[in-house]
Amino acid sequence: MTDDNRVRRWRLVLGGGPADGTDVALRGADAEMDAALTALYDSPTIEPNVPRRSRERRGGLGASAPRVARWLGDIRRLFPSSVVRVMQRDALDRLGLERMLVEPELLAAIHPDVHLVATMLALRSVIPARSKEVARSVVRQVVTELLQRIEQPARQAITGSLNRADRTRRPRPSDIDWNRTILRNLKHYQPTYKTVVPERWVGFGRRRPAMRELILCVDQSGSMGASLVYSSLYACVMASIPSVRTELVAFDTAVVNLTEQLQGDPVDLLFGLQLGGGTDILQALRYCESLIQRPEDTIVVLVSDLFEGANQKQTLARAARLEHRSS
């Protein structure tokens, strides 16, 4: 990186003015990037086409919906997608742009990501009818992208783990685990023949069809938005694997079983979540324990930030009890 380019980047970071010390004048795309950054981080309103000196410091959104939509389009054009996601989240936090989620033209300009989906789910009760179809299309776009990324690796990891869960010392030729067999028999290496003569074979076992029961218990309190989206989509993937019986349980201060919705549209599943509220992990674990029929073949996964609103000591005791049942 040249010195001039380094100074230019520092100028964009520091924001200009007499205190930044760079004495750099920006032109072209750099000036547009600076205007977009200034609109977000140096002003309570998104007005990228108004010179900084003439901007009024006032609360609220201020700018019209088309102007905000233009700003959203500008940042998508000027910055990489990873930066756009950060700026959109900062806009939601700093400028109160929940309005982006209730205006159809603004929804259409958003660069969708999992964090925006979580925000939309939390605010879905205030999204007007005219915006709901656009909101669903934004959610569907993110769901499609995420499933393309996670579905195949998740299937391979889960089925591979289950298929290799049992071992046998008398495997069929097609079931021999060659890596483990060689490792187990290295002491029987024959220098003369330059090979290992196995004394003990290790193979993959053939399990019964119903291999595992998975209970995915997900915290849907307000701080768990992105995790809730990811967990729900993973549950959809796992529910499609015949060898895994998957239950999805979501909770805040109440508990709801969403298992029946796993076979349907993932977008409908997400819009059925109740993001927000408090946290009662103890009650959720009690409910999950009531679902366990075969402890030795059941896995309970708790997804939570662990900010327990109930009795923490009892919660830990309940978790220890679940672990003891499965051992």
- pLDDT tens readout for residues 125-149: 667 777 778 888 888 988 998 888 8
Query: Do residues 254 and 187 share a domain?
Result: no
Domain assignment of residue 41, yes or no: yes
- What are the tens digits of pLDDT across the range 100-118? 666 677 677 777 788 778 8
How far apart CA 160 and CA 244 sit, in angstroms, is 12
Query: Do residues 178 and 236 share a domain?
Result: no
Query: Do residues 182 and 256 share a domain?
Result: no
Domain assignment of residue 104, yes or no: yes
Task: Identify the band that residue 175 occupies on the pLDDT scale cut at 50, 70 and 90.
Answer: confident
Task: Identify the band that residue 176 occupies on the pLDDT scale cut at 50, 70 and 90.
Answer: confident
Residue 103's pLDDT is 67
- What are the tens digits of pLDDT across the range 14-45? 776 655 566 777 778 888 888 888 888 776 55
Give the type of residue at 325: R
How far apart CA 225 and CA 117 sit, in angstroms, is 8
Domain count, the chain: 3
Residue 53's pLDDT is 40
Domain assignment of residue 305, yes or no: yes
DSSP helix/strand/coil, 322: helix
Query: Do residues 216 and 311 share a domain?
Result: yes
CB of 46 closer than 8 Å to CB of 38: no
Q: Which of the listed residues 204, 223, 251 is the one where a domain comes to its end? A: 204
Query: Do residues 322 and 224 share a domain?
Result: yes
Query: Do residues 259 and 293 share a domain?
Result: yes
For 196, the token pair is: 């290992």
Pairing of strands 195-196, 244-251: unpaired
Q: What is the largest CA-CA distance in the chain?
A: 88
How far apart CA 55 and CA 7 sit, in angstroms, is 26
- What are the tens digits of pLDDT across the range 233-282? 989 988 888 778 899 999 988 899 999 999 889 998 988 887 767 789 99
Query: Do residues 107 and 193 share a domain?
Result: no
How far apart CA 323 and CA 327 sit, in angstroms, is 6
Name the pTM for this structure: 0.59
Domain assignment of residue 138, yes or no: no
For 219, the token pair is: 């915290």
Q: Which of the listed residues 204, 234, 267 is the one where a domain comes to its end? A: 204
Query: Do residues 36 and 72 share a domain?
Result: yes
How far apart CA 31 and CA 78 sit, in angstroms, is 10
Domain assignment of residue 154, yes or no: no
Spell out the long-range contacts of 21-30 with Cβ–Cβ below 8 A and sequence spacing 24 or more: 29/78
Query: Do residues 41 and 73 share a domain?
Result: yes
Query: Do residues 217 and 266 share a domain?
Result: yes
Q: Which of the listed residues 73, 93, 111 is the one where a domain comes to its end? A: 111
pLDDT at 289 over 90: yes
Query: Do residues 94 and 68 share a domain?
Result: yes
Residue 80's pLDDT is 85
Separation in Å, CA 11 to CA 8, 87, 88, 284: 5, 18, 22, 51
DSSP helix/strand/coil, 214: strand
- Average pLDDT across the chain, whole number: 77
Domain assignment of residue 196, yes or no: yes
CATH code of residue 277: 3.40.50.410
Residue 102's pLDDT is 64
- Give the residue among 124, 154, 126 at the shortest CA–CA distance from 138: 124
Domain assignment of residue 123, yes or no: no
CB of 20 closer than 8 Å to CB of 38: no
Domain enclosing residue 180, as ranges: 166-204
Pairing of strands 244-251, 255-257: antiparallel
Query: Do residues 241 and 198 share a domain?
Result: no
For 273, the token pair is: 């979540």
Domain assignment of residue 59, yes or no: yes
